Chain A
Amino acid sequence: MTAVADPALADAGLALADATPGSVFAASVLQTGFFAGLAEFLRPSNLAGVLVNGLAKSALFVMIAAGLSLIFGLLGVLNFAHGSLTMIGAYLGGLVMVVLVGGATGAWARLGYFLVALVVVFAALAVLGLVVEVGLIRQLYDSPPIYQILLTFGVTLVLEELVRIVVSFYGLQPISDWQEALGTKPAFLARQTTLGPVTVRGLALFEILLGALTVVGIWLFLTRTRYGLFIRAGSEDDEMAAALGIDVRRVFTVVFALGSALAGIAGALLMWDPVWGASVPLAAETLLPAFVVVIIGGLGTFRGTVVGAVIVGMADAVTTWWFVNVVTWTWLPEVTVFLILVGMLVVRPQGLYGVEEVGGH
């Protein structure tokens, strides 16, 4: 917390001496000065690095939040179990990789196995989502929202405890990242890659690619398929959709399964990221940013979720750079994201693209 991380700033005499956190904040601002920090931030290599990191975070956030947003948009259910589904996806993806990947497995084979893991996670989480919707959520569609919140909160407690038991049984620490799974990623994703003036993590580029594919895939599904049309119609007015012959309850089930599968896919990707990793606390760690993203974008709108994820991801990357390299308060980036959330709730409670009332029923 007391050392300036950027060598350029340190060379310029901007490093801070040991001090208490409060005095560090005040002193660091005084010592570095806003303009010195800004000049450093605007260097092309730093700016490009922040952009790539921001896009990588945006990609992760959109993958985490997309399912939550789809489910709320159609069913009107705020699914508190969403983070648990991401966590299960991380462990399941890790399990597939740990089983398939050996020490001698090449980088491209590892990538191929990861695609297998994605398919397995997608299918398994879709089935789990289907069971939860048909067995539990469906009973409460006509009840007040608080019942659905309590139910999904209960589901998350049950799922987390089950995973904790299973993980502990196999000798893993539930609260620590699963290192063996982290180590299954191909070497080129673990390395730094130089692209022009900027050096970026290979994994960040992979996350951007997968996030972009997810956004395009969901967008094509919603806008170019008949089922996507039914989902968008049902999200606006489920009574009218039913009166046109659409089996809205079946659409609800499909969307809940799809949203759960997307949460699992995000988890499988996070399993490889050392900032996140497969662990039981991943459930809460992902649920919070997912809520922030969908609230900023507007509950239930996919376009809003994408824009919200980019705003949160870029804000996180920019403030992380500033607070790591200039001000040295490393927990402040998270505060900034929540400040954006508070500002949005005050100025435009329905979010950027939200309507005042969402949910098909």
Chain B
Amino acid sequence: MTLLELDGIETYYGESHILEGVSLSVGEGEVVALVGRNGVGKTTTLRSILQLTPPREGSITYRDEQLVGLETHEVADRGVGWIPEDRRIFSQLTVAENIRVAVPDRAAVDAALSLAYDTFPILEERQGQDAGTLSGGQQQMLALARGLVGDNDLLLVDEPSEGLAPQIVADVGEALAEAARDTTLLLVEQNLPLALDLADRFYVLDNGRVVDDGDAEEVSADSDRLRRYLSA
């Protein structure tokens, strides 16, 4: 069953035409990787879904409901979560407050904190600390935890391994694999081994257009098919 469907979306920043008719679909329970070079429109695709940068044309349906025209918080209310590229943790809130703010149901806060701390034990040690004082890797763990506790059916994950040490990348991959058991993921990731390891299907974006797509298994053995779009 299709959970999310983008059909011919055209998105602009001012007069800059970023997405030129992007169409893709994500089935319920799938992990779909969106890959491509820097600046081809991957993050803009996620921002378009969230209505942070609404498309001027095209449609985005989630559970057969049109998202274009909704406010961002209304998209989030429908169960679409976001783990952004640059973490965007609330640096002046404590670690625990960063998690609490992501939980829509007040009664579910304790369970959410437990989930976050079970996934990343270091966060429990730092729970009373201002999030801005965490290391880069710990901030990424907090950003992931904040996305995971949000009771979302679809998570939009943007470059979760960017700038992280290999051991932390492995922890992040493990957490995403765990999340994928009961959450649908649309994953933007330049770390190809990580993306293909997690994904069921992939789309390749180039210059604002989808130029290739297929099953992840098809390209794990034939990664040159992807690399020609990923190399500078």
Contact = CB atoms under 8 A, between A and B. Distances in A.
B24 interface: no
B73 A229 contact: no
B97 A229 contact: yes
B214 interface: no
Interface stretch (A150-158, A244-252, A306-314): A244-252
A161 interface: no
A246 B146 CA distance: 14
Contacts of B77: 245
Given A229-B93, A247-B71, A241 B101 contact: yes
A329 interface: no
B177 interface: no
A182 B175 CA distance: 65
Contacts of B90: 232-233, 236-237, 240
Interface in A227-271: 229-230, 232-233, 236-237, 239-249
The interface size bin for chain A is 10 to 19
B73 A245 contact: yes
B52 A233 contact: no
Contacts of A242: 52, 71-73, 76
Contact of B50 (A230, A243, A248, A249): A243
Nearest to A230: B101
B36 interface: no
B188 to A, nearest CB: 15
A226 B93 CA distance: 13
Interface string B109-140: 00000000000000000000000000000000
B92 interface: yes
B91 A236 contact: yes
Main secondary structure of the interface of B (DSSP, over half): loop
A130 B138 CA distance: 40
A245 B150 CA distance: 9
A132 B84 CA distance: 34
A243 B72 contact: yes
Nearest to B132: A236
Contacts of B100: 229
Interface in B55-109: 71-73, 75-77, 81-82, 84, 88, 90-93, 97, 100-102, 104, 106
Interface in A194-241: 226, 229-230, 232-233, 236-237, 239-241
A236 B90 CA distance: 6
A244 B93 contact: no
Given A226-B106, A232-B90, A236-B90, A243 B101 contact: no
A237 B72 contact: no
Contacts of B146: 244
A239 B86 CA distance: 13
A244 B92 contact: no
A243 B91 contact: no
A243 B76 contact: yes
A233 B88 CA distance: 11
A230 B101 CA distance: 7
B72 A233 contact: no
Nearest to B80: A243
Contacts of A247: 71, 73
Nearest to A242: B72
A330 B81 CA distance: 60
A240 B91 contact: no
A244 B76 contact: yes
A243 B93 contact: no
8 contacts: A226-B106, A233-B93, A237-B88, A244-B101, A244-B146, A245-B76, A245-B150, A246-B73
Interface of B: 50, 52, 71-73, 75-77, 81-82, 84, 88, 90-93, 97, 100-102, 104, 106, 146, 150
- For the complex of A and B, the 8 pairs showing the least CB-CB separation, nearest first, are A245-B76, A242-B72, A243-B82, A240-B88, A242-B73, A247-B73, A236-B90, A233-B101
Given A232-B93, A240-B90, A243-B84, 5 more contacts: A229-B93, A229-B97, A237-B90, A244-B150, A245-B150
